[in-house]
Structures are given as C-alpha cells and as structure tokens.
C-alpha cells in the first residue's frame, strides 16, 4: 500500500511539475517579481533605512524569501482549481491509484518549484552584495524553516484551490500573504513604526520567522524566537492540513 502511494505520488508530481516548467508566466511571477522587489528596495530605499552594521540587502533578504514563497504557492491553488474544473479528479478516482496522491503531487510540486525560486533569489542577492557568516548548520536551519513555511502555506493554498468558485478567487487568497511581510520586521525595524502598527508587526508570524532567518544568516543567537517561528509554521500547517483534507474528502465523496 505504501509502495503504491509513493509510486502514484511520484507519477502525479511529475505531471504537475511538467505544467510548471511549461508555464513561463509561473517562472516570472515566482522568481522575477520578488527579485524586482529586492532590487528596488536595495537601490531605491536602502540608503534611507538604518540597519546598523548589517547591509540592507542582507537585512531584507529573509522577507523577500517569504514573499517568494507566498507568491509561488498561489499557483498551487490555481493548478488545483484547474484540475478540479477540468474533471481530472473524477478521472483519477476511476483509476486504481492512491487518492491522496493527487493532493500530495501538487504539494510536492510546490515544494520543488518554490525551492528553485528561492535559490534564484538568493543567487541574485549574492550578486548585489548579500554575504552571510552562517555555517553549514545555520544554512540547514534556514533551509528547514523555509521548507516548513512553504509546506504550511502550500496546504493553506490547497483550501481555496478546492473550494473557490472562480479562478480569480483561487489565486487571490495569496495577496494578503504577499503583503504581510511589509508590516513586519522584514524591511524596516519595528521600533520605527507607530504604536498599533508596531504591536501588530511584532506579534504576527512573519516577524518571528524573518528575525530567526536573519539571525541565522548573520551568525547571531536565535534565542527563543526560533521556537516562536517554528510554532507558527507548525500551527499553520496542522490547521491548514486538517481543513484541506476535509475539503478534499467532500469533493471526492
């Protein structure tokens, strides 16, 4: 049974990955747009923002990485919605394959596609001055947090992909997620924000995740912030997974 699930999931993942590689606009949105945001902030706003001894590109890179993920997972919802409306789900149900493999194919595709986008963004960041004193363990920590965050948001994307009534609704849910890093410590220190905005910024998930990744990049102690970041990621993942599976069961019942 486990062998069938793994084999079916691998085949279905290959199918959705082919869709990604053939869609040029997917590559533009998930990689080029965050890169454009990063370049604009570094060369237009960077000189006006005091980040101490840390270069601005190094300061804001964690936030750009989260924007990259939020942008990328919108395509998970888009692809799921397209499959659902095309009738491919019903066709899969008539075949002797693991039913959960359909969802996991989309989820794993999201992880791979977002990993490629993240590598591209970091590569451009290195070209415009990003440097890190992180050792191998710290880099693995960054990769682990980004992977967990991607997994959590991907399962969140599955919900509108299965329940939206229009393709615009399936994709638009990611807009608040893309905007969230701008009200956090991603681009400016929260100390510079007015009271209510600062309170929100310091107690939303992006700030703890960004601060943890930034500390890992700069070789600083992560403190208790890493547990807050992991708690947010795991909490979002568990809740999103439960709702996504419930929505999927209703669709195929």
Q: What is the pTM of this model?
A: 0.89
Q: Please give the pLDDT value at position 11.
A: 66
Distance CA 177, CA 66 (A): 9
Residue 1 has a pLDDT of: 45
**Residue 131 to residues 57, 87, 123, 252, Cα–Cα distance (Å):** 9, 48, 11, 49
Q: Where are the beta strands (DSSP E) in 134-243?
A: none
Return the domain boundaries, the chain: 2-252
Of 151, 172, 173, 122, nearest to 233 (Cα)? 151
User: What tokens appear for 248 in the block?
Assistant: 């999927």
Tell me what pLDDT residue 88 has: 64
Structure token pair of residue 12: 């279905």
Rounded CA-CA distance 174/76 in Å is 10
Check if the beta carbon of residue 99 is closer than 8 Å to that of residue 139. no
| Residue-by-residue pLDDT tens, the chain, 253 positions | 445 666 666 766 766 777 666 666 676 677 888 899 899 988 887 777 877 778 899 999 999 999 999 988 888 888 888 877 776 665 666 565 556 667 788 888 888 889 988 999 999 999 999 999 889 999 999 999 999 999 999 999 989 888 888 877 777 877 888 889 999 999 988 888 898 999 999 999 999 999 999 999 998 888 888 999 999 999 999 999 999 989 888 876 6
The C-alpha atoms of residue 64 and residue 187 are separated, in whole angstroms, by 9
């Amino acid at each position: 049974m486990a062998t069938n699930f793994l084999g079916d999931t691998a085949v279905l993942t290959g199918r959705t990955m082919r869709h990604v590689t053939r869609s040029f606009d997917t590559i533009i949105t998930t990689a080029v747009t965050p890169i454009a945001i990063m370049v604009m902030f570094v060369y237009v706003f960077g000189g006006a923002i005091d980040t101490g001894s840390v270069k601005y590109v190094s300061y804001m890179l964690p936030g750009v990485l989260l924007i990259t993920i939020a942008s990328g997972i919108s395509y998970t919802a888009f692809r799921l919605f397209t499959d659902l409306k095309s009738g491919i789900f019903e066709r899969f149900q008539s075949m002797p394959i693991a039913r959960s493999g359909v969802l996991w194919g989309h989820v794993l595709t999201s992880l791979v596609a977002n990993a490629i986008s993240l590598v591209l963004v970091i590569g451009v960041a290195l070209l415009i001055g990003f440097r890190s004193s992180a050792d191998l363990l710290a880099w693995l920590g960054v990769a682990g947090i980004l992977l967990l965050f991607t997994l959590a948001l991907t399962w969140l994307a599955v919900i509108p992909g299965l329940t939206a009534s229009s393709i615009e609704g399936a994709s638009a849910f990611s807009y608040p997620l893309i905007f969230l890093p701008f009200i956090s410590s991603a681009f400016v220190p929260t100390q510079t924000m007015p009271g209510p905005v600062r309170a929100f910024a310091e107690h939303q998930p992006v700030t703890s995740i960004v601060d943890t990744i930034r500390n890992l990049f700069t070789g600083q102690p992560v403190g208790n912030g890493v547990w807050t970041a992991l708690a947010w990621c795991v909490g979002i993942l568990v809740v999103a997974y439960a709702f996504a599976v419930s929505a999927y069961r209703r669709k195929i019942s």
